[in-house]
Amino acid sequence: MESRMTAKQAIEEGFEFCGTNGHEFQALQYITDLDQNEIESGDYRLFSKETVCPCIDRDSLIDKAIDEAYDSLDFHVDTSDVRETVKESVDWESITNQINEALQVHTFHLLTDIKLIS
């Protein structure tokens, strides 16, 4: 069953934003900016109350760096020693933390399945 919430209920529950369902990129719209006619004629869904941000994990970062080296045209070593050397030679935890810290400024809301109704 589809979840539904009126604009008044959504605001009381702490939701601020909504967007039109069915599009890949969603522009945030304030719930308070919509009138009854817009809500009734559109297929608006609520955005999550909390924001999320992109992040990368340590192992993925290591794999991507090593794969990039292996894919290089000038790199022709066919041993697993290179992988281990790279893994052990770099402070990957620190690099991962620095990248994730930098990504903290790029937060976004996720569109939920909660339909906004009048």
DSSP per residue, 62-103: HHHHHHHHHHSTT----STHHHHHHHHHS-HHHHHHHHHHHH
Give the pLDDT score at 103. Answer: 95
pLDDT value at 70 more than 60 = yes
pLDDT bracket for residue 20 (50, 70, 90)? confident
pLDDT value at 47 more than 90 = yes
- Model pTM above 0.75: no
pLDDT value at 21 more than 80 = no
